[in-house]
Each structure stands twice: as structure tokens, then as C-alpha cells.
Amino acid sequence: MKHAFIMNCHRDLAQAAISVPLYRRFWGEHSSLYFYYDGPPDYDPAAMATVLANVTRSWTSEVEPRKSASIFNALNVMADEAAADGADIVSFVHADMIPLFRAQFYGFLDRFWQTEKLVTYGKMWPTSDYVDFANLHFRVRDAHALRLLPIEKLHADLDFNEAEATMSFDHFCPDWRGRAYRMWSITWPISGSAMMRPGVPDYYHPVADKTGHDPTGSFVIHNYLPESSVIHVNDGYFWQNYTTLSDVTAPFARG
């Protein structure tokens, strides 16, 4: 089973210059990496050179102001090309997403492949039926054949990639949920009030915008997928210490 990561970089080239070499060093033996840059033309040439030296194939595009359109353009191009190059499964990632544990990740891919399901599926929010983009792996040729791919932007006035991708799946492949490999997403709440004990002063009762924060209170973790070990995180400490926080330096032989 041949696998490829497909990475969309919407403006954040500096982050890609950090994550892409990690993919090449620790994941390149068993997975290809396709890279699509959609950002300002006056990018840092050193950062771009670092990225291009460490990817399998790459594309650049003019800035697409709508985030969802940017993501769909990149995903569709890379999924097409990866399939043409012989990939069986493609895994979508942003520049700030990466798996942590190799045996866990490739074991998950093997299980997913053996089920003959089209796509992985875990809800981003408990009360909304929208796909989680940190958990989007396609059995790519079947996904094309059954019209799950390409993802179409059906509502020009929306800019909400999770909702719009789900709408595209529903429109073009109505039975896709029955063909989906269900997974568990750990996500952090968008809003809500912190619960404190009686007697604690009011200024210790912040309304939480998002949780999963570093010691400074800055939000850093978007979501984590336990089965695949993919994490979506924008914490500098994490990226600086990736080899310590993961198992990627341990010997690994894929079965």
C-alpha cells in the first residue's frame, strides 16, 4: 500500500519550513510528501528553498483569499497527482499538522486500507456533522471513482472548509457516511465559561475562547487524533521539541 501526505500551505510558509524537513527526515522512507503553496509572491526565498528541497512534488499559486477555496484547490490538485503517481491513500495535512508515532500511524493506515472504506471521518464539533481536516485520509482512486473527490465549493458566500467539504460529500456521494472509516477526534471547545469554585474572585473566571493552551495562556492545540496520532498544533515549543515528544527517533521497520 503506497501512501502520500498532501500538504496545503495557505500563506504560512515559515511554519512549512519547520515541518516539511521533519516529514522528509522521519516519514520520507514510507510516505511521499506533496506540497501546495498559496500565498504572497514576496515569500522568504530561503524558507521556500528549504521546503522545495524536502518535498516529492510541489505547486505554487496566487493567493486565494478564501481559506476554504485555497484548501480545496490544493487538495484536489495534489490528490489527482498523487493518484496518478500510484498512491493508494492520501492524508491531508496543513503545515502545522504532523503524526507523532510511526507504528501507530502506519498501523492505522493498514487498518483503514483493509476495510476498503473511502475516507476517514470524525466530527470536528459534537453537535455539527462536519468533517475534521486533521482526520482526512482518502482511499484516493475509489474516492475519485465514487465522486467523493474532487471537493466542490458549492456556496460562494461561505468560507468554512469543514462545512463546505461535508456539503460536497453529501451532494456528490450521498452514501459516503456508510463508506467512511469512523475515528475519534479530540478537539478543544470553541467557547464556554470556565467553572470555578464558590468564593474565587471574578477575575479568575475567564470566558474560554479556546482551551489547550501553553503556560502563557496562548491557545496552541487545535485537535488530536488518537488512532492516527496526527496532531494539529501551533505551539513553538512543540515544533522545537518534536523529536522528544514523538517516537520518530526510535528504530522503525514497517511490517
Domain CATH number, residue 27: 3.90.550.10
Mean pLDDT computed over 169-188 = 91
Position 134 in a domain: yes
Position 76 in a domain: yes
Residue 196: pLDDT band with limits 50, 70, 90 = very low
Domain extent at residue 130: 3-184
Position 34 in a domain: yes
Q: For the chain, what percent of residues have pLDDT higher than 70?
A: 85
Question: What are the CA-CA distances from residue 160 to residues 46, 153, 154, 164, 232 (Å)?
Answer: 32, 10, 11, 6, 17
Q: Quick: pLDDT tens for 1-27.
A: 999 999 999 888 999 999 999 999 999
Closest CA to 27 of 111, 93, 84: 93
Give the pTM: 0.89
Position 145 in a domain: yes
Position 106 in a domain: yes
Grid coordinates representing 84 are 496518478
Question: CB within 8 A of 178, min separation 6: which ones?
Answer: none
Q: Reduced to 3 states, what is the DSSP secondary structure of residue 138? A: strand
Question: Dihedral of the CA atoms 32, 38, 41, 44 (nearest 10)?
Answer: -50
Phi-psi category of residue 125: left, alpha or beta, with phi > 0 → left and psi -120 to 50 → alpha: beta
Distance of alpha carbon 74 from alpha carbon 59, whole angstroms: 9
